[in-house]
A and B are shown apart, each in its own frame.
Chain A
Amino acid sequence: MSKPLENVEVALFVTCLVDINRPSVGFAAVKLLEEAGCRVVVPDAQTCCGQPAYNSGDRKSTKDIAKNVIRAFKGYRYVVAPSGSCAGMIKKHYPELFADDPDMLLEAEELAARTHELVSFLNDIADFEPDDVKLDKKITYHDSCSSLREMKVKQQPRELLGEVDDLELIEAEDREACCGFGGTFCIKYSEISEEMVDQKISNLLATKADIVTAGDLGCLMNIAGRLSRKGHKMKVLHIAEILAGMGDNPGIGEGQK
């Protein structure tokens, strides 16, 4: 069967959290995209999508950062990020940012049209299915807010996880509720964030799954950090890692084996 994206150039937007904190998610994304037939490039001039500034009300810095991203990703057929949050920033918020700047608006809309969240891209556009990936574990999937609400990612991760041999997906209560990360929110309002992440992990733990996964590293670091602080053993992995056959890697916050 031919792959719809055979040899098509895809630019990876690594995202700052993956770049700094969990490069293996980036390599998992590359592996998956390559298996789907894409030719992956990683533009060198990328940094961050600008959300920390945007969510803090610093519109001017956000615009500057956005311009940098727009420049860095010019010309690629697709731009893919292993994060609903960063992809959502580019797809939904960049055009809003430049609503009063017609030239930039055009460029922002053009980039938005090419930009995708990894899992939905693999499923909906690349027609990808994990081949020969096996993981004999119980998994629960947390719907991260941006993936779910901004990028409409809901069925795709479940379908792809369903293709992993021996994997059992167990749905958690309130899986669509926020984990309490929210970028700078979890630092500025850490006590409220704590309440939210405790709700989240109690629902996750109730599934008795071995692994919790999601498509956004921010949520996963928050969940992993809280699980670790409370002494729970549930393993935390980005969904790209599971789909790429790296399900046996140490979980987020577990250190090297």
Chain B
Amino acid sequence: MQVTSRKFKENAHDAMQDENLRAALGRVKQGFTTARANAAAELPEFEDLRDQARDIKDHVLENLDYYLEYFEQKVIEAGGQVHWCSTAKEARETILKICRDVDAKTVTKGKSMITEEIGLNKFLESQGVEPIETDLGEYIIQLADEPPSHIIGPAVHKTKEQVTELFYEHHQQYGYTEREEDPEKLVGEARAVLRHKYVTADVGITGANFLVAETGSTAIVTNEGNGDLTQSLAKTHIAVASIEKVIPTLEDVSTVMRVLARSATGQEMSVYTTFSTGPKRDDDIDGPENFHVVLLDGGRSEMIGTELQELLRCIRCGACMNHCPVYHAVGGHSYGWVYPGPIGAALNPQMVGIEEAIHLPNASSFCGRCEEVCPVRIPLPKILRYWREKSFEQQIGPKPQRWGIEIWGFFAKRPWIYRLMTKTAVRALKLMSGKKGKIRSLPFNNGWTAVRDLPAPEGATFMEQWKKREGK
């Protein structure tokens, strides 16, 4: 997808003017955070499970090569194939080749962030293969020709009225010629339209929440059941997953499952969790004839052993963005690439380059709520700070800000000059405020006073007054 992270400030500005989006983001904030808090409170073991989930993922990352090869071996034993892909391009071409091999005209798709990451839909379209998203949210944004704005609710930014218009425009060909306004009926319409697509699609593509090394299974988690229809009704099932999704055992998966849905939507379990292992067996009367796993690296292997490794623990629950005040303000599209919110701000600089994504790790108040709710305890603020240090070292970013910090640093290291400076500054600011006790605008750096008054100092610093008091 087109990267627009460089324009984060402009994107954010536009987003904050969009009343529909503001209403939608309000719902994200209310709905998801309350639900997660309730789910966490109802399971006494929740915090300990988070620790274990973190430890399992760390263990995997320390032995990732072993578990990937183990997984591959098990997939082969079950009659499937694993395709290793270093880059997005390799993954796209691998998927296309599988589609070509079965002469595919249409593919149904379950929700998959990796296929967003590799820009699969546009690519397949350009090659004459029609991709059909089946997750309702993904389907809506496919009709709107937009990227997802949230990793578990791709269309959270869309209003019911916008969905009405999209369906009216695109469903006339199926005989729906009225504008449908009832959300329940809108869902029914999408259900009816997509039902037939599952059966006629040549290939079903899904993502994978987990790759189980022990059994060579891929697992998906959904509430709609679209992923199951996608992968069981087409002749060929392709599961697309990134390398860090491998989990050693079914027991380990159980632990991670217990924190996943609770963190994401506040459910104890999503409605459907499905483990697929290989193609249909000889005497099976349903199921896909071919089973492929496309394993994407996409820059992840380079994060192993670095400060960024902990990001690979991510299980894509979305809790960090659900709880992020910056995400609540600007929405997902402002981030300008596939992954929004704190996880995007930490991950995207690695994926698209720090020069392109420099705003993302900077646009954070370091409130720490993301880390507080992350089910696998990724230290997101620490990683945002890592990127700030990288960009400071490489001298990326506005010069005046760097100078300001350097001047401040110069004084802060020298208490006696610092004392003199603060004494002077306090008097100047006090003078500027007169008797009002506040300053409405400053001649320099108006980032503060653009938005708020500056409470004026009292006239002498604490250190001055303290010395006077002690001198008495």
Contacts and interface: CB of A to CB of B under 8 A. Distances in A.
B37 to A, nearest CB: 10
B111 to A, nearest CB: 29
A57 B393 contact: yes
A199 interface: yes
Contacts of B458: 21-24, 256
Residue among B389, B391, B409 with the highest chain A CB neighbour number at 10 A? B409
B447 interface: yes
Contacts, number: 220
A190 B425 contact: no
Nearest to B362: A188
B298 to A, nearest CB: 26
Interface string B219-253: 00000000000000000000000000000000000
Contacts of A68: 412-413, 415
B100 to A, nearest CB: 46
A47 to B, nearest CB: 5
A207 interface: no
Contact of B9 (A176, A189, A228, A250): A189
Interface in A132-150: 145-146, 149-150
Interface residues of B, number: 67
B422 interface: yes
Contact of A59 (B362, B365, B389, B426): B389
Interface stretch (B195-203, B262-270, B461-469): B461-469
Interface stretch (B206-214, B279-287, B367-375): B367-375
B389 A186 contact: no
B401 A53 contact: no
Interface string B337-376: 0000000000000000000000000111111110110000
B325 A187 contact: no
Contacts of A96: 382
A8 to B, nearest CB: 19
B455 A196 contact: no
B438 A228 contact: yes
Interface stretch (A38-46, A73-81, A120-128): A38-46
Interface in B416-445: 418, 422, 425-426, 433, 435-438, 440, 445
Contacts of A115: none
B438 A186 contact: no
Interface of B is mostly: helix
B388 interface: yes
Contact of B405 (A14, A53, A181, A196): A53
Contact of A57 (B329, B366, B388, B433): B388
Interface in A158-191: 176-178, 180-191
A211 B9 CA distance: 34
A20 B411 CA distance: 14
Contacts of A53: 405, 408-409, 412
A37 B400 CA distance: 47
A145 B366 CA distance: 8
Contacts of A98: none
Residue among A62, A180, A192 with the highest chain B CB neighbour number at 10 A? A192
29 contacts: A19-B461, A20-B426, A23-B458, A23-B460, A23-B461, A42-B466, A47-B412, A47-B414, A47-B418, A48-B408, A57-B385, A57-B390, A57-B392, A57-B393, A65-B412, A185-B366, A186-B448, A186-B451, A187-B447, A187-B448, A188-B401, A188-B447, A189-B363, A192-B363, A194-B452, A199-B325, A225-B452, A228-B452, A229-B452
The 5 A-B pairs of least Cβ separation, nearest first, read A255-B437, A182-B365, A225-B452, A187-B447, A57-B392
Interface of B: 9, 12-13, 16, 325-326, 328-330, 362-369, 371-372, 382, 385, 387-393, 401-402, 405-406, 408-409, 411-415, 418, 422, 425-426, 433, 435-438, 440, 445, 447-448, 450-458, 460-463, 465-466
